[in-house]
Amino acid sequence: MASPTLAICTGPQSNLQGRIVPDTDDGYSSSNPLDSEDESLYTASVSSSIRAYREENGRTYSSFKEGSYLFPNDETENDRLDMQHAVFLRSLGGKLCLAPIPKDVQDVLDIGTGTGLWALDFADEYPSAQVTGTDLSPIQPSYVPPNLSFLVDDAEAEWRFRDKFDFIHGRMLTGSLGDWDNFYRQCYDNLKPGAYLEMQDTQLPLGCDDGTMPPTTALAQWSSNMIEACKKLNRPFHDIGSSHKAHMEAAGFVDVVEVEHKWPMNTWPKDEELKQLGAWTMVNMLQGLAAFSLAPSTRGLGWEREKLERFLVDVRKDVRDRKIHTYWLRSQQFSNKFTNSITRTPDDPRFFRHICSQPMNEL
Ligand SMILES: C[S@@+](CC[C@H](N)C(=O)[O-])C[C@H]1O[C@@H](n2cnc3c(N)ncnc32)[C@H](O)[C@@H]1O
């Protein structure tokens, strides 16, 4: 049976309307606690070694599961993650997720929560929820609402949550995990029947629909280099966002709804909303470029830091170049876990009760 794929819907949050029209005006300026017996679990309060970050090339990295996450956990990167959270909200019309979860949702898990802003906002918006955010790094705020807790935990280890969840969320985990089938199996096993999983992600290669980013540009080369390096380091980036749906289906999720958006690299689009989104994306990219590139290039490709810095000068120029019409393809997938007791047929109204009964622009 074909799964419904929402590739197009209305509103600022959905811009996969085909090609984005470039602006030709050159004058523009622009508390679900884990089993504490489990060795894979550490809480920030009991393990000071977790706070002893490792330094490399002037940046700090998680010391827990050292080397497994390729991107820094320092203030510069954390500020960028906070700004990126705002970009997500902007591109989703202020929504934290698209899955039609009930307002009184209970147990919620945010895997790879980063600085925890999504989890904080979620706990605020859904006061009935008990939200748990997990991450390799304890970079989350200490003062949080009573319905939110953060745990240092490795999503690649076997999950030891005592209770199952009503909603599991993961955002921007591309490049974090090596075994996606294992991740989705654990998501499936840790959801209650009828509960939702939602992923929000991006991927490489960078998109370009009109040939304005030929392979000779530094930006196109950066995109290929990152793919090659992350593959060598077993943290694949290539087409990961658009492979989530297939991985979810392989784990047993059905009728996965997929929504794709384009985040323009800079202010090149004509459309005002996309132009604004592009401005935010450009700042995000310029701030994150060194962080994204350092470990993959030095560890994966064997580059010296100086060689990388010289290369990034040209990449930054391309990121700002409004004649290069490139974008990040961002995708979002959600599905709920059906009970075995429900006999599903394609036209069973219960099958789509949450999803298709809603107008697309309300998703
Ligand atoms: C790009 S950040 C995204 C953070 C957050 N989800 C957001 O959207 O702002 C990826 C996060 O995943 C975390 N991470 C990477 N590998 C992980 C793992 N194996 N287990 C738990 N967290 C992990 C990193 O420490 C980092 O904070």
Q: Which domains, ranges and CATH numbers included, belong to the chain?
A: 41-209+238-287+329-362 (3.40.50.150)
C-alpha to C-alpha distance for 183 and 50, rounded to whole angstroms: 23
How many Å lie between the centroid of ligand 1 and the Cα of residue 71? 9
Q: Which residues pair with 333 in a beta bridge?
A: 199, 258
For residue 80, the SS3 value is helix
How many Å lie between the centroid of ligand 1 and the Cα of residue 212? 32
Site to probe by mutation for ligand 1, drawn from 59, 136, 240 as the one with most ligand atoms within 8 Å of Cβ, is: 136
Site to probe by mutation for ligand 1, drawn from 34, 64, 69 as the one with most ligand atoms within 8 Å of Cβ, is: 69
Closest CA to 206 of 191, 194, 192, 222: 222
**Residue 52: its pLDDT value, please?**
66
Closest CA to 184 of 168, 205, 171: 168
**Residue 51: its pLDDT value, please?**
64
| Closest ligand 1 atom number to CA of residue 154 | 20
Cα 228 → chain centroid: 20
Written as six digits, the tokens of 175 are 């490049």
* Residue listed under structure tokens 């592009």: 278
Written as six digits, the tokens of 196 are 């939702």
Q: Which residues, including other chains, have CB under 8 Å from residue 246's CB and lie 6 or more apart?
A: none
| Closest ligand 1 atom number to CA of residue 62 | 25
| Closest ligand 1 atom number to CA of residue 137 | 25
pTM for the whole structure: 0.85
Q: How far is CA 191 from CA 93, 199, 256, in A?
A: 27, 14, 15
Phi-psi region of 194 (alpha: psi -120 to 50; beta: other; left: phi over 0): left
Residue minimizing CA distance to atom 21 of ligand 1: 135
C-alpha to C-alpha distance for 317 and 293, rounded to whole angstroms: 16
* Residue listed under structure tokens 């393809």: 329
Residue minimizing CA distance to atom 1 of ligand 1: 172
C-alpha to C-alpha distance for 240 and 175, rounded to whole angstroms: 9
Written as six digits, the tokens of 215 are 């392979």
| Closest ligand 1 atom number to CA of residue 88 | 8
What are the start-end ranges of the H helices in 233-349? Answer: 240-251, 272-295, 305-320
How many Å lie between the centroid of ligand 1 and the Cα of residue 249? 23
C-alpha to C-alpha distance for 256 and 245, rounded to whole angstroms: 6
Q: How far is CA 184 from CA 87, 189, 245, 250, in A?
A: 26, 8, 10, 8
- Contact between 288 and 357 under an 8 Å Cβ cutoff? The reply is no
Ligand 1, pocket residues at CB < 6 Å: 62, 68-69, 81, 84-85, 112-114, 118, 134-137, 154-156, 171-173, 176
| One pLDDT digit (tens) per residue for the chain, 363 residues | 333 222 222 223 344 557 888 877 655 544 444 444 444 554 444 455 566 688 999 999 998 888 899 999 999 999 999 999 999 999 999 999 999 999 999 999 999 999 999 999 999 999 999 999 999 999 999 999 999 999 999 999 999 999 999 999 999 999 999 999 999 999 999 999 999 999 999 999 999 999 999 999 999 999 999 999 999 999 998 888 888 999 999 999 988 999 999 999 999 999 999 999 999 999 999 999 999 999 999 999 999 999 999 999 999 999 999 999 999 999 999 998 875 433 333 343 333 333 333 333 333
Site to probe by mutation for ligand 1, drawn from 134, 176, 200, 235 as the one with most ligand atoms within 8 Å of Cβ, is: 176
Closest CA to 226 of 114, 308, 329, 323: 308
Q: Which residues, including other chains, have CB under 8 Å from residue 192's CB and lie 6 or more apart?
A: 107, 164, 165, 166, 337
Residue minimizing CA distance to atom 14 of ligand 1: 112
How many Å lie between the centroid of ligand 1 and the Cα of residue 173? 6
At position 361, the amino acid (one-letter code) is N
Enclosing H/E stretch for 263: strand 257-264
| Closest ligand 1 atom number to CA of residue 139 | 27
C-alpha to C-alpha distance for 138 and 50, rounded to whole angstroms: 7
**Residue 186: its pLDDT value, please?**
97
Q: Which residues, including other chains, have CB under 8 Å from residue 207's CB and lie 6 or more apart?
A: 262, 326, 327, 328, 329
